[in-house]
Amino acid sequence: MRRPAELIGPFLLLFAALLVPGAVHAAVFTAQDLVMMKRVSDPRISPDGEHIAYTLRTTDLDANKGVKQVWMVDRNKGRPRQVTSGGGNSHTPRWGADGQLYFLSNRSGSNQVWRLDPAGGEAQAVTSLPLEVGAFAIAPTGDRIALAMDVFPDCASDLDCSARRLKEQGPAKVGGHRYERLFVRHWDTWKNGTRSQLFGAMLKDGKLSGTPALVSRGLDGDVPTKPFGDDADFTFAPDGRALVFTLRAAGRAEAWSTNTDLWRAPVDGSAAPENLTPDNAASDFRPLLTPDGKQMAWLAMRRPGFESDRAWIRLRDLKTGATRDIAPKWDRSPSDIALSSDGRTLYAVADDQGQSPLFAIQLSSGIVRKLSGAGTVSGFSVAEAGVVYALNRLDAPDDLYFLGWNGNQKRLTQHNADRLNGIALSAHEFFSFRGWNDEAVQGYVMKPAGFTPGGKYPVAFIIHGGPQGSMGNDFHYRWNPQVFAGRGYAVVAIDFHGSTGYGQAFTDSISQDWGGKPLVDLQKGLAAALSKYDWLDGSRACALGASYGGYMVNWIAGTWPGAFKCLVNHDGVFDQRSMAYTTDELWFDEWEVGGTPYERPEAYERFNPVNHVAKWSTPMLVIHGGQDFRVPLEQGIATFTALQRRGIESQFLHFPDENHWVLAPKNSLLWHDSVLGWLDQHLKEAR
């Protein structure tokens, strides 16, 4: 597809500026700064607590991709150092009981498990299988490994068979594929008939020994779960002989079922998996076994079909079956959990009033303690010496911190110090107001770069997606308010009804009311911000959002016309009925709207933006990814068609190779150049 001519010029000028030798670094935060940031993730502390391995992603702008390598930092000495190199990506570091560091790498041309001695030396291949390894885990005993690989179910135990079939499906082969059930596509991938299955194998001298045995045999589902599952979906028993894993065995109902269960099976595949949670028709996930192997902790939802239900912490005695909730009165929904080395404390990350801190929860009493301060904990790892975690904030990207059990905290990395040197990141402030039904709602404002008291600044009004999400205290790589502030815009964001971190009732309140309570909160939130902060210029404001935020932009266009000078809609829903028939995960719309579109057509029309196009008048920039199967491309095309047919100023930016997000570095730069240019055109040039 040819890009519109008006987009190509600014894009080339942007890159010309980037390539000027010796160019003086701007004093404000830009899209280039964001794209070139080093991204810290997945910290893992060694069993002795002395070393922390983690993944660091850098950007190769010429190659238009991110590059991942494994780094390590000593807890006491500091001095981070890169421990993997060479071509391809190396990531997912995991410690073995022998003190060796295992990781995934495609340096050989295929994603396989490798091993590295932290004391030095070259990495050694652990696996060299005919199929790519998607995830792995090392047994606590060090003598076994679990491997997840995509295989064809009818020859799942024969890896060579699956490898041959995948090759036969390659380029220049038969172009058609017959489907007999959903999914036909998921997130950004057309289904090819394979399933991610779990295998177990022996390790000898740090290398795979023998043929991997199929552990998840006989189950029609994926482990890890797709599209976002990882090695947290399975765990070894302490003796290394069994695995507990998460899998949704939904059969033909997979596309409208959230019923993931926990299964247990021997590592050698000698027995069929046993369902440990058959009585719960909702999601069970994140299994953990206590070090003595006697108890299992996990997260469980209670309402089938609702992917944003509260995640309850459950604990079961594996001998007696006695099960109870941990901290049942703690009205938060953990996203990640881990157990202490003595099995007495559970650590969790959960959204909480615009923050996402790390918590410690006593299993015996359910007492909850907050361990980290303001910001978002994006990953953590626990050892006897303490806990290491990655923390980011609105004014700081992720870095690693170590918290000892004596309360002492130490910063371990500062990977972006050089890039941020001399850049004045903008200040932010949280505020509260009375929203829908006079209930308390929170938002934040961010001052523009170069803020001067007495000035009046145009407003970027950013609406979060999800819709069960949050515009909280985090450093985002796709919707980072610092980039808008660096361009001279004040930022306003509201955690409207439906946002996470304010109790499950608040989160629930958006379901079947997409255009109701949230719109009231946005209207009252913007009014409250304009009243409280006299430097906000409400006459020059643009509303921007993606996914549900894009839906809300379309809804605002028809139900709050005239409120904004311009709109930006990224991957937003235009027609709820067609969305329900073309999206991948059907449970989402069926829960959020309230039933299927053929059973309750009136529910799909109640808050349907397509019904209000006649009232549209505000200029809109529409952006959509060609590989977005969550909110399919046709939703964006339909939005742009409606705008063009109505004669409304509009542009359509299409990324053929992007999914629901914009991930490629050059695409991100074009995205920012287009969005900021649209705001400039309508909020600055029109003064």
Q: Exposed, middle or buried: residue 307 (CB in 10 Å: 0-12, 13-18, 19+)? A: middle
Provide the 10 A C-beta neighbour count for residue 423: 17
Within 237-332, strands assigned E span 242-247, 261-266, 274-275, 284-289, 295-300, 312-317, 323-326
Distance CA 652, CA 657 (A): 15
User: Rounded to a whole number, what is the largest CA-CA distance in the chain?
Assistant: 74
The terminus-to-terminus CA distance of the chain in angstroms comes to: 35
Residue 103 CB partners (closer than 8 Å, separation 6+)? 53, 70, 84, 90, 91, 92, 93, 94, 113, 114, 115, 116, 123
For the CA atoms of 153, 155, 160, 162, what is the dihedral angle to 10 degrees? -30
Q: Which residues contact 616 (CB under 8 A, 6 or more apart)?
A: 557, 558, 561, 642, 643, 646, 648
The span from the CA of 582 to the CA of 598, in Å, is 14
In order of 82, 195, 301, 571, 680, the CA distances from 622 in angstroms are 41, 35, 35, 8, 16
Q: Which residues make Cβ contacts (< 8 Å) with residue 672, sequence separation at least 6? A: 31, 34, 483
Distance of alpha carbon 336 from alpha carbon 232, whole angstroms: 9
Four-CA torsion 163, 168, 171, 176, nearest 10 degrees: -120
Asked if residue 381 lies in contact with residue 45, where contact means CB atoms within 8 angstroms, the answer is: yes
* Catalytic residue numbers, as ranges: 547, 628, 660
Task: Note every long-range contact of 589-593, with CB atoms under 8 Å and residues 24 or more positions apart, other chains counting.
Answer: 590/256, 590/305, 591/305, 591/306, 591/307, 591/511, 592/467, 592/510, 592/511, 592/512, 592/514, 593/512, 593/514
- Joined together, the tokens standing for residue 159 give 């890896």
Q: Identify the H or E element spanning 23.
A: none
